[in-house]
Structure 1
Amino acid sequence: MMTMTKNRLTQAMREMRGDETQQQMAMELNVSREAVTKYEGGARNIPQDIAQNLMAKHDNPRFALALRSQYTKTGPMWLDGPNVDLHRSAVREKTLEEIKEAYEAIKALSFAQPFQSLSSWHSPQIEKVLEEAVEAITSLEHLVVVVCEEASISYNETWHKHHIQLRSKGYLQ
């Protein structure tokens, strides 16, 4: 049975292809049409070099989220349930709410002592910090995607600029 993550990835790949035929995409990626069919159908994982080529060409943030989720089984997934509102204003408000909740949870927990020395009473607080942080990360990812898509700003370039800043500050080698 195909997982939800794989469904999101294959759906994003089909959306990226748009009106282009599988044969046209295959030629651009230097693979067979059958390979594209298997990627889109979820029968075969998309190799790293193919995924990078697709991101370079299509700059699709939803595809990037789905890739990360498929390969690492971590990170935010694109929210598409019946209760999600992805209008930019709603995403902004939800992000502010989630950041505030994460901030309050982090502020309430002392990080001075090693976690190993904390009592079991602190475990729920630690879990609350992680839960709120993950929710904030998910909302922030959606904010980045929605703004990039609606404002026609490159998702790839946004991350590239961020990575350059991290290197210039000595956070990355």
Structure 2
Amino acid sequence: MKRGRAADAVKAARQATGMTQQQLSFEIYESRESVSHQENGRYRVQPNISKYFAEKHNNPWVALEAAAEYTGWGPVKLDGDAVDLHRASVTMKTREELTEALEAIESVCVANHPRSIREFDKQRLEEAMMQAIDAIVALTQYVAVICMDYGFSWWKMWQKHRAKLQAKGFIRQ
């Protein structure tokens, strides 16, 4: 199995806490060898490690990378040379992406049945979806960076959100 981004995220998260593989293995009730295999990409990163770093160290990146690796889609930590994850930069970029997404969504009518959509409108709809995905990624970076920088618990924020959805009847327990 090829070493992926999730393996790198686990190793970086562990090193940021100052833990050895052995110490992490005690925390998550796995062998040191299992931790090593996950960090080196021999095994996929397991959910318990993702959950551990999100809950105990307020680090959502392991979970995001692992989820994207498992599914083949979804937000990941932006880490390219052109990225600035300072909270002010992330906030400005999120506003920009949200504005672009809203404008693109408003430019397309989805009231008509999908069978009757014209090719031109279908292309605009695809662009609106791409802009929405850009906004989702930007919002994910925003929430992650703000949680980490200001000490909000990533895990607790998602738990509060889930409780809100349940209270409104949008999801079942």
Provide TM-score, normalisation by structure 2: 0.91
The partner residue of 1:9 within 6, 9, 19 is: 6
User: Does 1:63 find its partner at 2:85?
Assistant: no
- Partner Cα separation in structure 2 for residue 171 and residue 33 of structure 1: 41
Which sections of structure 2, spanning at least 5 residues, go unmatched? none
CA contact (8 A) 2:85 2:145 kept: yes
1:112 corresponds in structure 2 to 111
Question: How many pairs were matched up?
Answer: 170
- What are the superposed Cα offsets for residues 4-32 of structure 1, whole Å, 9 maximum, x if unpaired? xx2x2122211222221111111222221
C-alpha displacement at 1:167, in angstroms?
A: 0.4
- Structure 1 segment 1-173 matched on structure 2, within 5 A: 2=2, 6=4, 8-18=5-15, 19-173=18-172
CA contact (8 A) 2:94 2:135 kept: yes
The worse-fitting range, judged by mean Cα deviation, of 152-161 and 111-120 is: 111-120
C-alpha displacement at 1:54, in angstroms?
A: 4.2
Query: What amino acid sits opposite 1:166 in the alignment?
Result: L
Cα 1:146–1:51 shift into 2, 3 Å? closer
C-alpha displacement at 1:123, in angstroms?
A: 1.7
Tell me the C-alpha RMSD between the 2 structures. 1.6
CA contact (8 A) 2:25 2:35 kept: yes
C-alpha displacement at 1:134, in angstroms?
A: 0.3
- Partner Cα separation in structure 2 for residue 21 and residue 105 of structure 1: 47
C-alpha displacement at 1:60, in angstroms?
A: 1.3
Moved over 6 A (4+): none
Which sections of structure 1, spanning at least 5 residues, go unmatched? none
Query: What amino acid sits opposite 2:42 in the alignment?
Result: A
C-alpha displacement at 1:97, in angstroms?
A: 0.7
**Is the partner of 1:77 in helix, strand or coil?**
coil
- Partner Cα separation in structure 1 for residue 47 and residue 60 of structure 2: 16
Provide TM-score, normalisation by structure 1: 0.91
Cα 1:80–1:49 shift into 2, 3 Å? closer
C-alpha displacement at 1:170, in angstroms?
A: 0.4
- Partner Cα separation in structure 1 for residue 39 and residue 118 of structure 2: 49
